[in-house]
Amino acid sequence: MTPPVRPTVSLRTCARRAITALLGTVALFAANPAEAQKARNVILFLGDAGGLPTLNAAGILAHDRPQSLFIHTMPHMALSDTSSLNRWVTDSGAGMTAIMTGQKTNNAMVSVVPTADGSGTDPVKTVLEYAEQRGLSTGVITNKAIWDATPAATYAHVAARSGRDDIFHQLLAPRFGDGVDILVGKGRKDAETSFAKLGQSPAAAFARAGYLYGDDPTALSADVRRSAILRDQDFLPTPTVEAAISSLRRNRKGYFLMVEWDMHTDDPEAGLRHAVEMDDMIRRVSAIAGKDTLILFVADHSFGLRLRGGLRATPLSQQYAAAQKPAAGPHPLIDIDDTHTGEEVVAVASGPGSEKLHGFVPNTQLFDVMMQAYGWTPDR
């Protein structure tokens, strides 16, 4: 009797071979985890002056619970030194230069370092410029002036942060790629003043460079590849960042986005609201950005704000509203000494490459974390 044909055997063999092949592929990835975990996109959230004391007070004022912010749930963290090349307490120019270029510089300098003989400065390439050079899309969003030191350190190189005209000039004369693709910030009148000195209008200059120029962030969409939104009023952070991402993510090579939200304040409630706004932004962006995105939050320096009191049984905001600042001495609940301070700031991250962030680190290491996440080697 002829035995029945047993196709299941050959199917089993096929399946076994397929599984073996699959395991081989998995093993390849496991042997080279860096390949498997590269970031296509990096989003840097820069809390300007958003040190631990500010985050602590903001979270409790908003939610009446400790460690209640979204950033408190992010999986990887480090404490970053913020000292500059020449000062223990940095300004935003030197602080952001370290993060964007991996080089410490003197206070007030923007993505340049002093030459060895001290007679001048040399530009240092920024993460945004590496991204432009490689054909990625790039964006800069800030609730400060677009030419202010922190956003400027992503795309410009000046020896003095006060060099507004030069910063605007460099914005439209990029060293790599076609320059920042999505720009949203304040300083519309500043732009008019700076471009007028060249006999130009910012509207014409940005249009010539291929930008949709306007003052309304709701004009941003997936259909607008290059846009410069300059205004002098506040704007809604989360919808603006979401719209920017919808445009940037259309580039298959990926994108780099820097979002700065200023937390300096002489009014605790206003400053702490900005901290909560940024936290809400990061929560939302973490939900939509995709697994191939490194999300990094860090401050450029800390700030002299302290939570000094308060009962747990009553909302802190009610207690703050009821409390009077004494004529002399600190406020009993939330006191502000309106100055930068020198202690380490927290850096938190999620996504590919975020596991590199741990321990006490110099602020220059944040540059390394972003570059390694992309899988890029710095030129130098």
**Binding flag, residue 107, Zn ion (CB under 5 A):** no
> Residue 79 region, left (φ>0) first, then alpha (ψ -120 to 50), else beta?
beta
> CA 364, 370, 374 angle in degrees (round to 5)?
145
Residue 148 assigned as binding residue: yes
Between 74 and 345, CB nearer to Zn ion: 345
In this structure, what DSSP letter does residue 70 have? G
> Which span sits near Zn ion by CB under 5 A: 16-24, 44-52, 138-146, 244-252?
44-52
N- to C-terminal Cα distance for the chain? 77
When asked if residue 262 is in the footprint of Zn ion (CB under 5 A), the reply is no
Q: Which residues contact 19 (CB under 8 A, 6 or more apart)?
A: none
Binders of Zn ion in range 65-104 (CB under 5 A): 92
CA atoms of 232 and 145, how far apart (whole Å): 8
**What is the Cα–Cα distance from 7 to 18, expressed in whole angstroms?**
16
266 is in an annotated binding site: no
Q: Minimum Å distance from CB 325 to Zn ion? A: 25
- Picking from 131, 158, 137, 136, the residue whose alpha carbon sits closest to that of residue 147 is 158
- Angle at 132 (CA atoms; ends 130, 136), nearest 5 degrees: 105
Name the residue nearer to Zn ion (CB basis): 48 or 190: 48
Q: According to the annotation, is 301 in a ligand binding site?
A: yes
Of 299 and 361, the one with the shorter C-beta distance to Zn ion is 299
Look up residue 285 and give its DSSP letter.
H
Question: Any contact of residue 48 with Zn ion (CB under 5 A)?
Answer: yes
Considering all CA atoms of the chain, what is the largest pairwise distance in Å, rounded to the nearest integer?
108
- Minimum distance of Zn ion from residue 142's CB (angstroms): 11
Helix segments in 48-91, DSSP class H: 52-63
- Taking CB under 5 A as the binding criterion, the range among 133-141, 156-164, 168-176, 299-307 that sits at the site for Zn ion is 299-307
Give me the least distance between CB of 300 and Zn ion, in Å please.
4
- The CA dihedral of 353, 149, 339, 334, to the nearest 10 degrees, is -60
Q: Is 344 annotated as a binding residue?
A: no
| DSSP secondary structure string for all residues of 293-310 | EEEEEEESSEEEEEE---
- Characterize the bridge pairing of strands 76-81 and 302-307: unpaired
Cβ proximity to Zn ion, 264 vs 356, nearer residue: 264
User: Total residues contacting Zn ion (rule CB under 5 A)?
Assistant: 3
Amino acid (1-letter code) at residue 19: I
Contact yes or no for 260/151 (Cβ under 8 A): yes
* Nearest residue (CB) to Zn ion, 90 versus 293: 90
Q: What is the number of the residue whose Cβ is closest to Zn ion?
A: 92
Nearest to 217 by CA among 193, 245, 195: 245
Report whether 340 belongs to an annotated binding site.
yes
CB of 58 to Zn ion, least distance (A): 16
Is 260 annotated in a binding site? The answer is yes
Catalytic residues: 92
Contacting range for Zn ion; rule: CB under 5 A; set: 107-115, 171-179, 244-252, 293-301: 293-301
* Contact range with Zn ion by CB under 5 A, out of 17-25, 28-36, 175-183, 292-300: 292-300
Residues in region 198-257 near Zn ion by CB under 5 A: none
Closer of 48 and 279 to Zn ion (Cβ) = 48
Q: Is 300 near Zn ion (CB under 5 A)?
A: yes
Annotated binding site: 48, 148, 150, 260, 264, 300-301, 340
**Rule CB under 5 A: which residues touch Zn ion?**
48, 92, 300
Annotated binding site for Zn(2+): 48, 264, 300-301, 340
Annotated binding site for Mg(2+): 48, 148, 150, 260
